[in-house]
Structure 1
Amino acid sequence: MENVVTDAPPPSRFSPDDLDNFAAPPPQPTPILVVSPANPSPAPGLLILLISPTSLALLPHLSSSPPLHASLLLPELPLERSHPPIRVYLHEGALLAAAHGAVPAHRARAVARSLVSALQPEEVLVLDAVLSGSYRGRLAADEPVEGKLETRAARMRGGVSAARGVATLAPPGSMVDGLGAAVMAECEMRGKAASMVLTWPEGARPVEFGVMRRVAAELGVDPAQAAVGRVSGRAELDALYT
């Protein structure tokens, strides 16, 4: 009779390469938020996160180039990249966080945590877009639509900033993911008031949406002059880096 304690175990049915698939992945480095020494933290009342091409189209039309407050870096990205994924600007007491580069999906949670914990805004407004593959064909291709999702704290306040006049998105389905969704989850856990406004189509002009017109009014921008084509590839935002 075999002794299960002292006898040698049978050979594994898995090769060493297969066993590596069950190992925990190496920990990812923490994102780094580098704050400009010339612009110390202002303890902002509002953080506006610009993710969609429609919202980013407003930046080049600001009356004056906003001073850079901070840059968020991902240590694993090549250093030769021309610009960090996210830059945070100061504009009349508010912070504008512009997603100039794509944030990998598996890093969205860490980036959201770094932004919210380091900047400590009282309210957060996320401007994102519905991707064409995320709404299962329920939206007309050329009909502008906007809707919002809110944290519990935002609903208790009646909304956040320019999102107060936007109807609640229904049904939310599975169309929200990436950095915007991660920021909303982080704000919900921290009890912060946050609203995320999603617009459709992804490349529509800012003037077609009420929320963009209200945000443009707060920033002193004429939304009729902002065209999404000007931020295609985000190359024309280089003027803000000087």
Structure 2
Amino acid sequence: MEDVLTEIPPPSRFFQEDLNNFIPPPPSLPTPFLLFSDPYATKILHPSILIIAISPSSLQIFHRVSAKTLIGTLVLPEIPFSGNSIKASLKDKSCNIYSLNDSEKLVCIISVQCSVPAERSHVVSKLLLGGQIFPERVLILDSIQSQNFRSKLSWDETLAYKLETSSERKEFNSGHGGSSLLKDVDYFPSGSVVDGLAAALLARCQILNIKGTLHLSWPKFGTSVILLLRSLLLNDVLAGLEFGSNGDYEDQHFNSGWKDPLVDAELYT
């Protein structure tokens, strides 16, 4: 007679993955889309440079630029418009597209003031690059994420690094008069990681063979990093553009006293 206490139990009627068949799948999110004003609604934009501001510091800088015109917006259906002000505000959850008024060639700026989830990053990058917007060059401005950086970060130090697509680096190394967009900025340290929308946008540039540069700065907030970005833009990207006075960059919404709990942790040394 079999011993019911020591006998190997029979297999379960279901595998673990089969149990999920009884759970209804989550509803799929609506597809994001672009809305443009006339005369941009019916044509493909070919800006000489497209600047995509993601970091809080870069958003502050371009918020203060008066010589810009709103020409379109990216609509993420899961992000409500309620709470947004009629006049442009840094507190709005929006992703607006601007053109600069005083440029001989079309220059476009995209201010990403809403949080784009990682699972939506590739969909958004395809909308912003390669469809109705096909730029000659792309500059992405984002912040260093402390959890993805291999070295210890200090609040007393302002850092800036870059990553480039192969076409951007090839022009700099060709020796035919080409130059890197941010020629004096060091490359992002090996072993550190970039993810989210910024990584998806740079990968999209690589796929489409667009000259693309991702600029990463630290810290996220504070006058020092704002002045660094402002100087970089004036010297290497948009010479002559008025970015506002230094005193204009104090904003209660972006508190320079904000602290990242992961900074100075021994885990990231």
Name the TM-score class by shorter chain. Answer: 0.7 to 0.9
What secondary structure, in the 3-state scheme, does the structure 2 residue paired with 1:191 have?
A: coil
CA contact (8 A) 1:58 1:221 kept: yes
The answer as to 2:232 corresponding to 1:211 is: yes
Structure 2: gaps (5+ residues) = 1-11, 85-91, 173-178, 256-269
Once residues 223 and 135 of structure 1 are traced to their aligned partners in structure 2, the CA distance between those partners, rounded to angstroms, is 32
Q: Secondary structure of the residue that 1:33 maps to in structure 2?
A: strand
Shift in alpha-carbon separation, 1:180–1:231, aligned structure 2, 3 A: farther
Q: Does 1:61 align with 2:82?
A: no
Residue equivalent to 1:173? 192
* In structure 2, distance between residues paired with 1:20 and 1:164: 56
Distance in 2, matches of 1:212 and 1:128, equals 14
Cα deviation code 1:52-84 (max 9, x no counterpart):
1111111233243x2111100012333535256
Q: Give the AA of the match of 1:200.
A: W
CA contact (8 A) 2:79 2:93 kept: no
Distance 2:252 2:53 in 1: 15
Q: Distance in 1 between matches of 2:190 and 2:248?
A: 30
Work out whether 1:90 is the aligned partner of 2:99: yes
- 1:182-225 Cα offsets, whole Å, 9 max, x none, are 10011111111100010011113321344245356453224634
Taking a change above 3 Å as real, the CA distance of residues 19 and 232 of structure 1, as seen in their structure-2 partners, is same
Say if 2:221 and 2:254, in contact at 8 Å, map to a contact too.
no
**Contact 1:55/1:212 (8 A) holds in 2:** no
Q: C-alpha displacement at 1:170, in angstroms?
A: 1.7
Distance in 2 separating the partners of 1:12 and 1:183: 42
- Secondary structure, aligned partner of 1:171: coil
- The verdict on how the C-alpha distance between 1:24 and 1:152 changes in structure 2, with shifts beyond 3 A counting, is farther
Alpha-carbon shift at residue 113 of structure 1 (Å): 0.8
Deviation at 1:143, TM superposition (A): 0.5
Question: Aligned pair in 2 of structure 1 residues 187, 81: CA closer, same or farther (>3 Å)?
Answer: farther
Q: How many residues align?
A: 220
Matched, 1:221 2:243: yes
Q: CA contact under 8 A between 1:124 and 1:160: conserved in structure 2?
A: no
Aligned to 1:70: 72
Q: CA deviation at 1:231?
A: 5.4
Greater shift, 217-226 or 146-155, is seen at 217-226
Residue-by-residue CA offset, 1:98-117 (whole Å, 9 max, x unaligned)? 01211122111111110002
Query: What SS does structure 2 have at the residue aligned with 1:11?
Result: coil
Structure 1 position 178, deviation (Å): 1.4
Kindly report the root-mean-square deviation, in angstroms, between the aligned alpha carbons of the 2 structures: 2.9
Once the 2 structures are TM-superposed, how far is the Cα of residue 232 of structure 1 from its aligned partner?
2.5
Q: TM-score, normalised by structure 1?
A: 0.78
Partner of 2:116: 103
**Matched residue of 2:152: which SS?**
coil
Report which of the two has the higher share of helix.
1
Structure 1 stretches lacking a partner, 5+ long: 1-9, 234-242
Distance 1:139 1:106, change over 3 A: same
- Whether the 8 Å CA contact 1:85–1:102 is kept in 2: the answer is no
In structure 2, the partner of 1:48 is 51
Aligned equivalents of 1:190, 1:145: Cα separation in 2: 29
User: 2-side partners of 1:12 and 1:86: how far apart?
Assistant: 46
Does the 8 Å CA contact 1:68/1:88 hold for their aligned counterparts?
yes
Query: Who is 1:237 aligned against?
Result: none
